[in-house]
Amino acid sequence: MKVLFLYPNADSQVGFNYGVSHMAALLRKAGHDVAFWQLCEELAPLPVRDEFVNRVKREKPDLLAFSVVTNQWEYAKKLASWIKQEMSLTTICGGVHALVAPEQILDSGVFDYIMRGECEEAFLEFVERLAKGQSVEDLQNLGYRKNGRISLNPVRPLPALEPLPFKDYEVMDFQKLIDVKNGWVGLMASRGCPFSCTYCFNHKMVATYRADLKCSFAKLNYIRRFSVEQMAEEIRYLLKNYKNIQMFIFDDDLFTFDKDYVKEFCGAYKKITDLPFVVNAHVRFFDQECADILADANCRIVKFGVESGSERVRKTILNRHMSNEQIIEAIRYVNEAGMHSSVFVIIGFPHEQGEDVFGDRRTVHALHVGQDDAVVLDQARDVHVAVDAGAPGLDPAQLRRRGQELLVHDVGVGAVDRAGLRQGFGFVEADEESHVRGQLPEFGELAVIEPAGEVGQRARAAGGVEGDHRTRGGPRQVGGDGRAAEQDEGGGPQDGPHRSGHHDERSFRGRVKTGR
């Protein structure tokens, strides 16, 4: 049986689909034929209707499988509708959007099935049954509409990672991805997160699995890892088989969660390569020892999800229980170890007040503590800012009076009024780029703005901001790091990259006024 995977990635920076790479390998191992098409302007012009339909016809698939994040849903729906109008072809939709909005997908009338959650094993069984002409209606993780009613079957337990086959890089034309991403290569050593941020889809993931499996968070085995040897083997494979790799970036939700694993990995990494790498961390799972271990292995950038400089906003809106002092301390560890610190920030939440965004600068400076966004962010070398342009409490005129260089990424989800931002922030359109530049003095070296609020949450379900001053913001799944799981049994990973937040190596070397 032939499966054509479609990965809509339009108007976004080029992403890598970890889940599909494993599913492709499983299918090929079972004797099925696999093809993959990533629709992203940075790889090739997006096809018009006839081009798209004709390409699918040439591929002659038996099954058309979409992997969809929420900010790509409308585009995916359009593509599927083109096929349904021209061909009699079974369609299925997986990815984050199938988990958070299954009814919407099935109500669209252009998808026959959905797959919820981490589906490597479930999707293989689905394809095997279709190939044999067997019923799939009782298959775990599957959703479908029959006789006007939607059925969502319970999910199966989360797959262990170590037994998964080696990713199928060849089906994705991986060298082209490396070249387009300027030598930045994503890796994922683990899935899962012990926290439950309100803006992240992870709490939905955990709730779904706990309800279907009728178990506690602890029994989900939610945080899973590939062995250090598996990661070392993958890195050796990539270096041997592909050219121009400049930087590895770990898309794990929380790479520093297990310090013993960090130690073991960094020890192995140093024996393989001296290429720099990037990790995502959490201020409550990070100390000077961890910073020194990472730096010794040539970690170049450590990224933290701060999301707000206001403790009130973090606690009451975001379910993120960390103090400004903890944030500043973690950033100091990074900087003192000689690495580049980076933080993610969202402004413009509903119920957010002006003092939450900026605080009282004079009071904060007098106290020498981080009590607002400005002081917290001043500690970091690099700042990624997400703005909900339509949220109450956001005064663009205030932002215009603050900070260094600022970029607005058009991530294609329709939430940002770019003209309004240009007027409110005093931006000018950057030459030969689809960015908006402006000045934001007190937010640090560089800011990357993307939508927040409801649409921003959907965009974050895509997995990571990959942004610099020359490439557009990209697909990401933002890390779930609110309150610790032992407190509320929340949390959760996903079937793809979570928060990648890339700068590329070109940006890292060339950015003005970066401290390192």
pLDDT in tens, 454-463: 333 333 333 3
Least confident of 245-254, 275-284, 308-317: 308-317
Q: Are residues 445 and 296 in the same domain?
A: yes
**What's 278's DSSP letter?**
E
Q: What is the DSSP string of 157-211?
A: PPPPSTTSPPP--GGGTHHHHHHHTTTEEEE--EE--S---TTSTHHHHHHHHHH
Q: What is the domain-level CATH number for residue 142?
A: 3.40.50.280
Q: Are residues 137 and 190 in the same domain?
A: no
**Residue 168 in domain:** no
Q: Are residues 134 and 220 in the same domain?
A: no
Q: Are residues 122 and 265 in the same domain?
A: no
Q: Are residues 267 and 132 in the same domain?
A: no
Confidence class for position 382, pLDDT limits 50, 70, 90: low
Instruction: Report which of 391, 372, 308 is spatially closest to residue 345, judged by C-alpha positions.
Output: 308
CA distance 120 to 474: 24
Instruction: Report which of 330, 174, 347, 180 is spatially closest to residue 254, judged by C-alpha positions.
Output: 330
For residue 316, pLDDT beyond 60: yes
- Tens digit of each residue's pLDDT (9 = 90 or more) over 92-146: 999 999 999 999 999 999 999 999 999 999 999 999 999 999 999 999 999 999 9
Q: What is the DSSP string of 307-364?
A: E-S-HHHHHHTS-----HHHHHHHHHHHHHTT-EEEEEEEE--TT--HHHHT--HHHH
- Show the 3-state SS of 78-108: HHHHHHHHHCCCEEEEECHHHHHCHHHHHHC
Q: Are residues 260 and 395 in the same domain?
A: yes
Query: Which residues form the domain of 109?
Result: 2-152
Least confident of 29-43, 143-157, 226-240, 486-500: 486-500
**Residue 422 in domain:** yes
**Residue 504 in domain:** no
CA distance 6 to 10: 12
Give the number of domains in the chain.
Answer: 2
**Residue 512 in domain:** no
CA distance 374 to 441: 9
**What's 476's DSSP letter?**
-
The pTM for the full model equals 0.75
Q: How far is CA 22 from the centre of its chain?
A: 17
Confidence class for position 200, pLDDT limits 50, 70, 90: confident
| Contact between 57 and 88 (Cβ < 8 Å) | no
Amino acid symbol at 337 = A
Tokens of 154: 């319970």
| Contact between 90 and 116 (Cβ < 8 Å) | no
Amino acid symbol at 383 = V
CA distance 268 to 229: 8
Q: Are residues 219 and 103 in the same domain?
A: no
**Residue 161 in domain:** no
Torsion of CA 172, 188, 433, 51, to 10 degrees: 20
CA distance 489 to 501: 26
Q: Are residues 124 and 200 in the same domain?
A: no
Q: Are residues 252 and 384 in the same domain?
A: yes
Q: Are residues 249 and 201 in the same domain?
A: yes
For residue 32, pLDDT beyond 80: yes
Q: What is the domain-level CATH number for residue 331?
A: 3.80.30.20
Q: Which of 132, 152, 172 is the last residue in one of the domains? A: 152
Q: Are residues 398 and 479 in the same domain?
A: yes
**Residue 513 in domain:** no
| Contact between 122 and 141 (Cβ < 8 Å) | yes
* CA angle centred on 221, ends 218 and 222, rounded to 5°: 95
Q: Are residues 144 and 204 in the same domain?
A: no
**Residue 165 in domain:** no
Least confident of 273-277, 369-373, 421-425, 502-506: 369-373
Tokens of 105: 């997908």
| Contact between 483 and 316 (Cβ < 8 Å) | no
CA distance 457 to 477: 9
Mean pLDDT along residues 447-456 = 35
**Residue 193 in domain:** yes
